Amino acid sequence: MSRQMIVHSEKCTGCRICELVCSWKKEKKFSPSLSRIRVASPYPEDGADRPKVCVQCTQALCSTCGRDAMHRDENAHTILIDEKKCNGCDKCTISCPLGAIRLLSDRPLVIVCDLCEGDPECVKYCPTAAIEYSNPNEMRLRLQRDSLRECLEISFEEDPWRTGS
């Protein structure tokens, strides 16, 4: 399985450095509206910010483009936009269940994360490691191992039969 973007929303502080780094890398402007990653509060009542980014779905619902403006780079496993074919019809933004595709306001074009050709800038600069680029299976195993380690530590701390040395 290939690597993908994994968001740890509980670590996100809402600093939006990821948006600035992305817009600079892609557009040479510091402008969150030009970023391929977006930080938003989907549930304003909890006040928590969460990064939204394309996870490069295997069965990409967004690839419904009638102009063939979206295609998958089979080597990098990323979804790419052909700027010459995209007319900004917005079909892909509506069909993306994550809301990770954005229509630009200044020209008829959609933008989506292309993983910076396999080396995502947002991952490098996130100060809290809220964004990770890794194999989901490896991450799942690491989380299970960490969870087990934490459970063992707790159980030993709370064991009334354990005698201290």
| Contact (CB, 8 A) for 9 and 128 | no
**Token output for 91:** 């079909």
Tens of pLDDT along 76-126? 778 889 999 999 998 899 888 888 899 998 889 999 999 998 899 999 999
For residues 123 and 131, the answer to whether their CB atoms sit within 8 Å is yes
Across-strand partners of 70? 81
**Got the DSSP string for 40-86?**
E-SSGGGT--EEE-----TT-TT---TT--EEEETTTTEEEE-TTT-
> What is the chain's mean pLDDT, rounded?
84
What domains sit in the chain, N to C, each tagged with a CATH number?
A: 4-157 (3.30.70.20)
pTM of the model: 0.77
Q: What is the mean pLDDT of residues 31-58?
A: 84
